[in-house]
Chain A
Amino acid sequence: MKHIFFLTISAALLFTSCKKDEVIVTPETEGQTTITFDAKVGENDFALDQNFTIGANTFKFSNFRYWISGVSLIDSKGTEYKVANSYYLVEETKAVDVQEGTFTYPAKKREDVVIKGIPVGDYKSIRFSVGVDETHNNNLSLQAGELSQLSGMTNSSWMWLTSYIFTSIQGTVINGGVTKNVKAETGLNTNYKTVTLELPSAIHISSAKATGVNVKVDIAKVVDGIDLFANPTVGASQSTLMATLATNYGTKAFSVMGIK
């Protein structure tokens, strides 16, 4: 008995010296939560290839994609838990031609961002940014989270400016029987926006049960104040319209629908 005990201890010591990260911490404390970014057009569920009326224009979308980064949760004492390496590509998209069609990024719908290892606590708000922070946006060789040059969220036209595409909406717009292609993108450091959302009530996060936050992302509010029929292309060359678009993402596009 004594011998077995000794063996266990020495094995544990050796293990500890190998890699400090592997020290087991009490798993009962940390919890996880799922932030669901539920795309809507006003009160209607967003979908690709379906007609939506926003103002005088009718849209049919082929993609809606954006980077969510710098996620943090704030507890009832005001302490902020920052999620390391949090760069997530949230999207609902048809196949994307990357590098002028050199290769194809597959069609995909992704709305859940799962955050693990959250210290146990009562969290009352969440904070995240839309886009990529200046450090990582200025250096495309820094890899973190899901950041990649291969997901079609930067392209040569944006690389001439060294920026990821922060947000992208593509599809068609129809007005008075005339159809135009729409491409509304944001990028560049000035258009990096941070959003803080209060939860309707604090959520207790721990390993005891799964939790979730349902965030509404309203495309009607994203394009508010921009006539995408008159200006179907918004990008680096349309800096004023792009700034309006980015401000909309930062101030009104996101809201909390509920928690679970």
Chain B
Amino acid sequence: MLFFITVSIVVSCEKNDVRMREPQVASLLVPANFPIPVFDTGNPLTKEGIELGRRLFYDKRLSGNNQLSCGSCHKQELAFSDGVALNNIGASGNLLHRSAPTLINLAWANNGLFWDGGSTNLESQAFGPLTSEDEMHQNLFQLNDELMAVPDYVSRFNFIFKDGISSANIVKALAQFQRTLISANSRYDKYIRHETGGTLSASELNGLQLVRQKCQSCHQGDLFTDNDFHNNGIDDDFSNTAFDGIFLGRARVTFNNADLGKFKTPTLRNILLTSPYMHDGRFSTISQVLDHYSDGIKVSATTDPLVKQNPGGLPGISLTPQQKADITAFLHALTDSTFINDTQLAGP
């Protein structure tokens, strides 16, 4: 009698309280020339969570028609961009109004996601493209069912998250993987960290100096972005309020007219892999971008003073053809071939 009671209670203890294995806590490898990333989204990184996120990122089950994965518009070989100005491969076939952003060093992107910063964190962000009819248009109920039909997913979710497959856990895993998309192995990085292979040519060094003088107020530090929002003078009319204010820039989010036409500073890292440029992909080459900054600034009430560097605060950043060539040479040194070839960031 006594024996029986003891055994049965011990068994119930083990089932409820003792875990044979736990997900392995993971931490990001912070490059020596980067700041410490700060994020607190109640979603601690685990080795298994990152791997699950990678599998989900490349899984076409995540779209309503099972034709698109996150990777369809965020291709590793293009530093997780899509190479077109405005895509139309979403479920509705409609042309999007903004260009797919790159996914680079997102663990440091803690001032809002999307071109206007409307989304607060990677976890919440994923619901936008997942559900929008112009993008993946995935029925979230159905997605749970589709994933539950795959035994490998069931065991991974159950192991990593105590409550198994759910919409919330899907976006948590995706966020974990995306935080590992760290690019810090370009020739510039090797130069700045004094590593082997860190040689910059005279032209590239000159370009670096010019970038520091003329561009790094916005493309700051070794992340090459301030994660902030600026009106860089590509437009001067922000009266179109269509599509929930998508053309208003940051003002869509802040409801403040002082933010009209401001868009997020993209990183310069891998910039020569990520054409076309600007939030709507209007410039197809980096030379068009440089020409815009030297000669194409349109002035409106919210144009950033940083693009009015000419004497007397006149619009434009003066750049000679040689200086533009040197800057372009330097930008090549920001291409990170390790990043675009890393099999841990590629599809399974």
Contact = CB atoms under 8 A, between A and B. Distances in A.
A and B bind: yes
Interface of A: 7, 10-11, 14-15, 17-19, 99-100, 102-103, 138-143, 148-150, 154-157, 159-162, 236-237, 239
Given A18-B16, A160-B118, A237-B245, A7 B2 contact: yes
Interface in B106-137: 114, 118-121, 123-125, 127-128, 131-133, 137
A19 B121 contact: no
Given A7-B2, A15-B9, A141-B43, A99 B123 contact: no
Contacts of B103: none
Interface string B138-179: 111110000000000000000000000011110110010000
A100 B16 CA distance: 41
A162 B42 CA distance: 16
B22 interface: no
B124 A143 contact: no
Given A99-B133, A141-B172, A149-B131, 16 more contacts: A7-B5, A11-B9, A15-B9, A18-B16, A99-B131, A100-B137, A102-B131, A139-B41, A139-B123, A140-B127, A140-B171, A143-B168, A149-B127, A149-B167, A150-B141, A156-B128
B255 interface: yes
B246 to A, nearest CB: 8
Interface string B2-37: 100110011011001100000000000000000000
A236 B13 contact: no
A157 B124 CA distance: 13
Nearest to B43: A141
Contact of B121 (A102, A139, A237): A139
Classify chain B's interface size. Answer: 35 or more
B241 interface: yes
A8 to B, nearest CB: 10
Nearest to B174: A141
B301 interface: no
A135 B24 CA distance: 26
B131 A159 contact: yes
A138 B128 contact: no
B1 interface: yes
A103 B16 contact: no
Count chain B CB atoms within 10 A of each CB in A17, A100, A103, A239 and give the residue with the most.
A100
B42 A142 contact: yes
B139 A162 contact: no
A237 B244 contact: yes
Contacts of B42: 139, 141-142
Contacts of A102: 64, 131, 133, 137-139
A14 B124 contact: no
Nearest to B175: A141
Nearest to B113: A162
Nearest to B112: A162
Contacts of A17: 13
B314 interface: no
A143 B124 CA distance: 12
Contacts of B125: 162
Contact of B124 (A19, A139, A150): A139
Nearest to B248: A237
B2 to A, nearest CB: 6
A18 to B, nearest CB: 5
A141 B128 contact: no
B253 interface: yes
Contacts of B137: 99-100, 102
Given A11-B9, A99-B131, A99-B133, A141 B118 contact: no
13 contacts: A14-B9, A18-B9, A18-B12, A99-B137, A103-B139, A138-B121, A139-B120, A149-B167, A156-B132, A159-B131, A159-B132, A161-B118, A237-B241
A14 B6 contact: yes
A149 B140 CA distance: 8
Given A141-B172, A150-B140, A159 B166 contact: no
A93 to B, nearest CB: 18
Given A18-B13, A102-B139, A239-B255, A141 B123 contact: yes
Contacts of A237: 241, 244-245
B26 to A, nearest CB: 18
Nearest to B246: A160
B128 A160 contact: yes
Nearest to B172: A141
Contacts of A103: 139, 141-142
A208 B30 CA distance: 59
B41 A160 contact: no
Contacts of B138: 102
Given A11-B9, A19-B17, A100-B133, A159 B124 contact: yes
A7 B2 CA distance: 7
A138 B13 CA distance: 37
A132 to B, nearest CB: 12
